[in-house]
Amino acid sequence: MEKLKITGGHPLAGEITISGAKNAALPILCAGLLTADTLRLTNVPQLRDVKTTQKLLQGMGVRVMTDNVHEYELTANAVTNLCAPYDLVKTMRASILVLGPTLARFGEAQVSLPGGCAIGARPVDQHIKGLQAMGAEIVIEHGYVKAKGKLKGARIVTDMVTVTGTENLLMAATLAEGITTIENAAREPEVVDLAECLIAMGAKISGHGTDTITIEGVKSLHGATHSVVPDRIETGTFLCAAAAAQGRVVLRNTRANILEAVLDKLREAGAYIEAGDNWIALDMKQRPKAVNVRTLPYPAFPTDMQAQFMMLNTIAEGTAVMTETIFENRFMHAPELARMGADISTEGNTAIVRGVEKLSGATVMATDLRASASLVIAGLIAEGETIVDRIYHLDRGYEHIEAKLGGIGASIERIA
């Protein structure tokens, strides 16, 4: 199993180009199922989850052409299989995103239930309830969601803000007969990016980016070209790395207006941040100050940045209170950070992080994607050598992380 070997203490300075967002690319690739024409995508990140989605779509009969760098062409004109099998869904929960578009276009779909993962139970009841409100007949049988029926527009109010839930219902509604409103909709930039791609494909959508999205169903969608929005979580991760190392970075191909809550917290921690149309620069000249964090749906502070900020707080001046309100088990990095010398106590969904002067390198185990990222950052600033084990989690969501960090001065290599 591959690991990352990191030697801490190297100054971090330089430029990194940010990739397209995993969480936008995945639903947008699934949107290719909504039309028989070709959907052309650029700025698609090279990630394990993208490859899994490619495999899933190809298994359904979608023709996928790619330059194996950042461009994809999807043509779903010969879909023969309306099923997302357990083998693929178990490696990537986002596979549930084929449910809405497949059902809407073909009147039938079967998707293995994703089940939970390390960070929480993660049910998909809201996806199912929303599709039922649109007239789908759904049964859960042998671990699969089996859905059929012709979809009709409906008023849907989700019980909580759900990102992939909103995306599944949004895609389904584009081909439903009549008008659908999704209330309590997710406002994440990735939902907006999906809506913009769907509009380019001929969908009639308004209100994306607010908590009420209105969709007027159309008979069919057509081909389009779309560039995936930059990854705000990758952006935030590298900003945290530079802040922790008291370094200076310029991140290209990214946008400040999709991660304002994160930038505000970095400023509060003492970082100097400047931004232009497609770049963000961070300069940190001092030991970070502890910052309290409470995770909430967008535009508030994202749960996908909680682990990286916990790492920052471990070496900050002062004590931080961190509250995770989205997932019930998202502090698994805390005991691993503690093995590197961090002082963290957790109770329920709250963590108290007392800043220490320094961390020391250790062998640590990644448990999920963002936990892995926090351990990598910890390794960059710790004294001595850190080995991060189980980095397959990292490869799900960070494109060439060791090359990108190596490019700004980190000593980091992949070992067997």
Ligand X SMILES: C=C(OP(=O)(O)O)C(=O)O
Taking CB under 6 A as the rule, does residue 188 contact ligand X?
no
Task: Show the tokens assigned to 370.
Answer: 């963002």
Contact letters for ligand UD1, residues 221-260 (x by CB under 6 A)? ----------------------------------------
What are phi and psi for residue 365, nearest 5 degrees? -120, 130
Phi-psi region for residue 46, left (φ > 0), alpha (ψ -120 to 50) or beta? beta
Taking CB under 6 A as the rule, does residue 56 contact ligand X?
no
**DSSP H helix total and E strand total for the chain:** 14, 24
Active-site annotation holds for 117? yes
Nearer to ligand UD1, 185 or 316 (CB): 185
Taking CB under 6 A as the rule, does residue 372 contact ligand UD1?
no
- Residue 239: CB partners within 8 Å, gap ≥ 6? 249, 251, 262, 263, 266, 271, 273, 280, 282
- Range 88-107, binding ligand UD1 (CB under 6 A): 94
Peptide bond into 302 cis (omega under 30): no
DSSP 111-180: EE----BTTB----HHHHHHHHHTT-EEEEETTEEEEES--B--EEE-SS--HHHHHHHHHHHHTSBSEE
Rounded to the nearest whole angstrom, what is the least distance from the CB of residue 378 to ligand X in the complex? Answer: 17
- Report which secondary-structure segment, H or E, holds 306: helix 306-314
Contact letters for ligand X, residues 276-315 (x by CB under 6 A)? ----------------------------x-----------
- Rule CB under 6 A: choose which of 61, 85, 123, 209 binds ligand UD1: 123
Binding partner of 124, given ligand X, ligand UD1, none, CB within 5-8 angstroms per partner class: ligand UD1
- Asked whether the beta carbons of 179 and 214 are under 8 A apart, the reply is yes
What is d(CA 66, CA 389) in angstroms, rounded to the nearest whole number?
Answer: 31
Binding partner of 162, given ligand UD1, ligand X, none, CB within 5-8 angstroms per partner class: ligand UD1
- Range 293-322, binding ligand UD1 (CB under 6 A): 302-304
Interacting residue ranges for ligand UD1, rule: CB under 6 A: 23, 26, 94, 120-127, 160, 162-165, 302-304, 326-327
- Binding-site residue ranges for phosphoenolpyruvate: 22-23
Binding site for ligand X (CB under 6 A): 23, 93-94, 117, 304, 369-370, 397
Binding site feature residues:
22-23, 93, 122-126, 304, 326
